[in-house]
Amino acid sequence: MRHGLSRMHRVVLGCVVALLPLAGAQAEAPRCADHNPLRNVYVGDLHVHTALSLDAATQDTRARPADAYRFARGEPIGVQPYDTDGKALRQLQLKRPLDFAAVTDHAELFGEVELCHTPGSAGYDAWQCLVYRHFPRVAYYLFNATASAGRRLGFCGEQGELCRTAAAGPWGEVRTAAAEALDAGGACRFTSFVAYEWTGVGGDNAGNMHRNVIFRGDRVPELPATAIDTGSPEGLWQALERQCRDALPGCEALVIPHNSNLSDGLMFDGSAYTAADAALRARTERLFEIVQHKGASECFAGALPGIAADEDCSFEQLPYDSFAGQNFSWKRKPPNPATGFYREILRDGLRLERTLGIDPYRMGVIGSTDTHIGAAGAVAEDSFLGHGGAGVPARDGVPAGLPDRPEFGPGGLAMVWAEENTREALFAAMQRRETYATSGTRLQLRFFGGWDFPGDFCEDPELVPSAYARGVPMGGELRAADGAGRAPVFVVAALRDAVEGSPLAEVQIVKGWVDADGASRETVLSVAGASEGAETLCAVWSDTEYRPDQHAWYYARVLVLPVARWSERICRANGIDCADPGAVPEEFAACCAADHRATIRERAWSSPIWVGS
């Protein structure tokens, strides 16, 4: 069924108040003025780097964690390059503030960077620190190569203790900035989380294994567990068990893997898992960052055996599948079905569930930026300055031509349905996976599954409370035994971002499953659409082909009408005419490259709903 309904403003926002208990609802008394038992959607960024991260610092990012939080709350931020008086030559400000954010600086080199910046410290005069201060981009490769090999630099002392001790300073700054940014009053305008990035790599091609660690409150370990200390993702999860959950009453953390599109197939290899391994991963890794400025990780852009190609999988897909491929042409190979895309990861989870009895990859989705200039939530196509990090550095001047690698983009946003804007409510929502990701738009998306939703559900002004009472929201699970042989029914409702967003074009439901022989199966169904665009779209869809013995997952994908991409906007603003190649300056050659993307079709992805026995 297809609908474009004016009443959808109430339906999608969930503003209809109903006096009924919600499964999984927050137990504490309301603390915020906007408390809503049917849950509000909150907008945030859970992947933000500042000058505490080595790669950001060596690009002359000077924003500190407190600056990043001020930017997220709506204040301007200075962006490199800086003049001789220390004044930033560029500035950025959000058009709309965020509701929440987490500074996630790379923890592996906290101590090394601190010692190299501190005159009189044990490492300040070491040759590595001299390289850091005088040849920062050389230090970027030297320091990271050492950390990636699981070692500390020589000046860190025996077993790296000097650097480990020095890490307490930056980690303390992260914690203090989060505490000061938190709006703990009744207005609840902004929520901050204590967090960091665990930055491991694997294999000969530097396959990305990075994860962001988000803590529920201010009860956190004295030092973060780094990739140098733990050696593997499994070591990270175990360290969080020991150092957080077991050692500190009230400490809880969730781990968010990101950029599996650069993992060279290593990030989700559960072939050697025991049931205990799978259970620990399922408990710890509740979310997956499906999009950020270094590309999207939804699905492989090509045909798979038994699966038709999905043209929308090409969205912001990078042309290489590892960090080595990004930086070295002789290491470059294109992405492939085994690279580590979300859909295949979800199907691998179903395969593992057959043998282990538990699905370790049952993850909801969020988007974020991975900004390395402290610009949390800076996702606008019309003001993109580049996010630094693995992109184009601006230490020595504004880059000529495009301000970042043309395959990179502004990134995405994390959208969370919660009763109120507090750490407790947001974290609970993330743990139950009632989240969705966007590529930067703030469109609103609801997705519910059940066994008896009526065909005219979109017309019901009580849709949201009724859907909660009769089914599960995005991130939830439906047991086939509760369906009594019936087909699962889904309702998806979307509302355009009325401030900056393009009109809604299409709503799709993506289903994935594994057949009796273990082969991947997938279908993408268009369930609502408006060729000229719409403010709202809603649909009810029943999977009449579902069998009670089938384990499957379903998620919603919303597409909007295309707009000009950031790179095309800059090309146009500089009068680039690709019809006259001889007149195109070398610094703008990317504007006319065969693989240049002139438009972008913003979108949102819901967390899945899993259906099985």
**Residue 143 lies inside a defined structural domain of this protein:** no
**Dist CA 291 CA 296 (whole Å):** 4
Residue 7 makes CB contacts below 8 A (sequence gap 6+) with 461
**Dist CA 425 CA 99 (whole Å):** 13
Confidence band, pLDDT 50/70/90 cuts, at residue 549: confident
Q: What is the pLDDT of residue 8?
A: 57
Mean pLDDT of 57-62: 96
Phi, psi of 358 (to 5 degrees): -150, 145
Dihedral sign for Cα atoms in the order 174, 438, 3, 430: negative
**Residue 146 lies inside a defined structural domain of this protein:** no
User: Can you say whether residue 70 is alpha, beta or left, with left for phi > 0 and alpha for psi between -120 and 50 degrees?
Assistant: alpha
Q: What is the pLDDT of residue 9?
A: 59
Cβ-contact 278, 359 below 8 angstroms: yes
Tell me if residue 79 falls in helix, strand or coil.
strand
DSSP 380-439: -GGG-----TTS---TTSPPSSSSS-TT-----EEEEEESSSSHHHHHHHHHTT-EEEES
pLDDT tens across 89-114, in order? Answer: 999 999 999 999 999 999 999 999 99
Residue 403 makes CB contacts below 8 A (sequence gap 6+) with 384, 385, 386, 392, 394, 570
Residue of 428, 475, 415, 463 whose CA lies nearest to 24: 428
**Residue 513 lies inside a defined structural domain of this protein:** yes
Tokens encoding 501: 């967003």
Q: What is the pLDDT of residue 212?
A: 98
Residue of 419, 366, 364, 315 whose CA lies nearest to 104: 366
Q: What is the pLDDT of residue 11?
A: 59
CA dihedral 587, 592, 593, 595 (to 10 degrees): 130
Tokens encoding 298: 């939804």
Mean pLDDT of 58-82: 97
Number of domains in the chain: 1
**Residue 149 lies inside a defined structural domain of this protein:** no
User: Can you say whether residue 604 is alpha, beta or left, with left for phi > 0 and alpha for psi between -120 and 50 degrees?
Assistant: beta
Confidence band, pLDDT 50/70/90 cuts, at residue 28: low
Mean pLDDT of 512-535: 94
**Residue 159 lies inside a defined structural domain of this protein:** no
Mean pLDDT of 582-611: 96
Model confidence, pTM: 0.95
SS3 track for 213-273: EEECCCCCCCCCCCHHHHCCHHHHHHHHHHHHHHCCCCCCEEEEEECHHHECCCCCCCCCC
- Helix or strand holding residue 529 (H, E): strand 520-534
Tokens encoding 467: 């859907």
**Dist CA 76 CA 56 (whole Å):** 19
pLDDT tens across 109-154, in order? Answer: 999 999 999 999 999 999 999 999 999 989 999 999 999 999 999 9
**Residue 220 lies inside a defined structural domain of this protein:** yes
Q: What is the pLDDT of residue 68?
A: 98
Q: What is the pLDDT of residue 18?
A: 38
Mean pLDDT of 305-331: 91
Cβ-contact 343, 298 below 8 angstroms: yes
Cβ-contact 513, 350 below 8 angstroms: yes
Q: Is the pLDDT of residue 15 over 70?
A: no
Q: Is the pLDDT of residue 7 over 60?
A: no
Q: What is the pLDDT of residue 166?
A: 97
Expressed as residue numbers, the domain containing 370 is 8-19+30-107+167-576+588-612
10 Å CB burial of residue 425 (0-12, 13-18, 19+) is buried
Q: What is the pLDDT of residue 23?
A: 45
Mean pLDDT of 54-69: 97
**Residue 136 lies inside a defined structural domain of this protein:** no
Phi, psi of 87 (to 5 degrees): -90, 130
Residue with the bigger pLDDT between 19 and 280: it is 280
Q: What percentage of the chain carries pLDDT values higher than 70?
A: 95
Q: What is the pLDDT of residue 185?
A: 86
Confidence band, pLDDT 50/70/90 cuts, at residue 37: very high
**Dist CA 161 CA 182 (whole Å):** 32
Q: Which residues pair with 469 in a beta bridge?
A: none
CA 402 to chain centre: 24
Tokens encoding 197: 């990035």
Residue 116 makes CB contacts below 8 A (sequence gap 6+) with 123, 124, 126, 128, 129, 132, 133
Q: What percentage of the chain carries pLDDT values higher than 90?
A: 86
pLDDT tens across 347-377, in order? Answer: 999 999 999 999 999 999 999 999 999 999 9
Q: Is the pLDDT of residue 383 over 60?
A: yes
pLDDT tens across 433-490, in order? Answer: 999 999 999 999 999 999 999 999 999 999 999 999 999 999 999 998 898 889 999 9
**Residue 581 lies inside a defined structural domain of this protein:** no
10 Å CB burial of residue 28 (0-12, 13-18, 19+) is exposed
